[in-house]
């Protein structure tokens, strides 16, 4: 058994990661980051998932850095969230500069202070082509960095790095993840829009896995 901090966005991938770490018998705490994302609804989902899983959950407020993240459709408000299936150019509009390094650095600081063994995040193969901070080489480099950042060594776990989103959905289904509580939509509403690239990817992941997601909120 290890002690693991899970980076929990509130989406289907990180929810599956949370349940996967618990299933493996690890002692788990969860952290979510408010970086000014327009889809802050996901943070409520993360809190609810943590409560249901009976793990400690903390929310780190990094909204002071939002102006430093540039003009993108997630942390900015001037660019609309693209609808339909993502192509390279439209998906780039959803890139928040260096987001994963920022999130993982905060999670690592907490893990070090707790004397935990690892930080886990849910990057998968579907993220690799467009999000530079989801690539295996990024994760490998950051794993080396977090092991050097303090006298207490912490590792970076990325168990889904060779899986696609459909495989993640299938694993989550087998673990009993309450997918109907998760939040995927990048738009800032109270219900999934069903039109943005994230909603499309979510729907296709469950279809490819052949499992039901439950009624999305």
Could you read off the pLDDT of 151-198 as tens digits, one per residue? 999 999 999 988 999 999 999 999 999 999 999 999 878 899 999 988
Considering the domain boundaries, does residue 38 fall inside one? yes
How many separate domains does the chain show?
1
User: The pTM is what?
Assistant: 0.93
* 216 occurs within a structural domain: no
DSSP bridge partners of 27 = 3
CATH number at residue 105: 3.40.50.620
d(CA 39, CA 84): 17
* Model confidence pLDDT, tens digit, residues 83-126: 877 766 667 788 888 999 999 999 999 999 999 999 999 988 87
Residue 10 in any domain: the answer is yes
Q: How many CB atoms lie within 10 A of CB 71?
A: 10
The domain containing residue 21 runs over which residues?
Answer: 3-209
Sign (positive or negative) of CA dihedral 117, 120, 125, 127 = negative
Continuous segment of H or E residues that includes residue 12: helix 12-23
Asked whether residue 101 is assigned to any structural domain, the reply reads yes
Residue 214 resides in a domain: no
In this structure, is residue 34 part of a structural domain? yes
Within a domain: 82: yes
Q: Give CA–CA dist 203/170, Å, rounded.
A: 13
């Amino acid at each position: 058994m290890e002690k693991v901090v899970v980076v929990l966005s509130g989406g289907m991938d990180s929810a599956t990661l949370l349940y996967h770490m618990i299933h493996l018998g690890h002692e788990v705490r969860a952290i979510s980051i408010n970086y000014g994302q327009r889809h802050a609804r996901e943070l409520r989902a993360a809190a609810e998932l943590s409560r249901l899983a009976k793990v400690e959950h903390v929310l780190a407020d990094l909204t002071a850095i939002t102006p430093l993240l540039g003009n993108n459709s997630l942390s900015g408000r001037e660019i609309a969230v693209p609808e339909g299936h993502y192509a390279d150019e439209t998906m780039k509009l959803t890139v928040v500069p260096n987001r994963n390094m920022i999130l993982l650095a905060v999670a690592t600081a907490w893990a070090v202070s707790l004397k935990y063994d690892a930080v886990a995040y849910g990057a998968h193969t579907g993220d690799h082509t467009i999000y530079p901070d989801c690539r295996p080489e990024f994760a490998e480099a950051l794993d080396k960095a977090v092991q050097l950042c303090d006298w207490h060594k912490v590792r970076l776990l990325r168990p889904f790095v060779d899986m696609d989103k459909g495989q993640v959905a299938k694993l989550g289904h087998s673990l009993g993840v309450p997918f109907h509580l998760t939040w995927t939509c990048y738009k800032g509403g109270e219900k999934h829009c069903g039109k943005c690239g994230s909603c499309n990817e979510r729907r296709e992941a469950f279809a490819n896995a052949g499992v039901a997601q439950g009624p999305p909120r």
